[in-house]
Amino acid sequence: MIFHKDDSAEPAREEGLVARMLETRTVLVGGQVDEKLAERTISQLLILNAVSHDPIRVIITSQGGHVDSGFAIHDMMKFIESPIITLGAGWVASIGVPILLGAEKACRYSLPNTRFLLHQPSGGAGGQASDIRIAAEEILKLRERINVMIAGETGQSAERVENDSDRNFWMNAEEALEYGLIAKIVNGAGEIS
């Protein structure tokens, strides 16, 4: 007898999980950051903010992805009235770092084994030379925007962030604490205030 996985049950299971997380005022930013993840995250933030202005926990475990989608999540976290608590879990890389910075510094946490990655934005450009030049200029603008944000949120100089993010710059939780990305490393939910 051969058993086949029932793929039709997956969306219902995921919706049930999301509903239970929303009951606890928790939003998960997991996996590749793209337009779909941004839309889902922003919708959840707006729903929770409409219900009450109690704190919302945002758990981030992401390799990064689409920069503008990440900025949309970051901006909405700053926009709503509910206080935001961020928790890095696993890895917080690339545009995941600005999403983490959507919370005030005192409300940014990390689990002990989380790793953080700063690096410059990348992108492929093709076509005519003028189009390639425009794409390169946009990447440089994005890089500066991200570096200024990280410097402002961590207390590091813009020059240091620029130098650190020139290549892949990995930090463990203790190094991220020292750098100013997070306020505290936590082992349990009771340690988050």
Q: Which tokens in the block code for residue 93?
A: 């890389």
Residue among 76, 86, 87, 72 nearest 50 (CA): 76
Active-site residue identified among 62, 94, 110, 165? 94
Contact of 162 with 169, CB cutoff 8 Å: no
Residue 162 Cα to chain centre, angstroms:
19
- Per DSSP, 103 falls in state S
Query: What are the tens digits of pLDDT across the range 18-28?
Result: 788 889 999 99
Number of H-type helices and E-type strands within the chain: 7, 7
Count Cβ atoms below 10 Å from residue 26 Cβ, excluding itself: 17
119 is catalytic: yes
Active-site residue identified among 62, 69, 110, 119? 119
66 is catalytic: no
Query: What are the tens digits of pLDDT across the range 91-119?
Result: 999 999 999 999 999 999 999 999 999 98
Q: 22-188 is classed in which CATH architecture? A: Alpha-Beta Complex (3.90)
- pLDDT tops 80 at residue 161: yes
- pLDDT tops 50 at residue 1: no
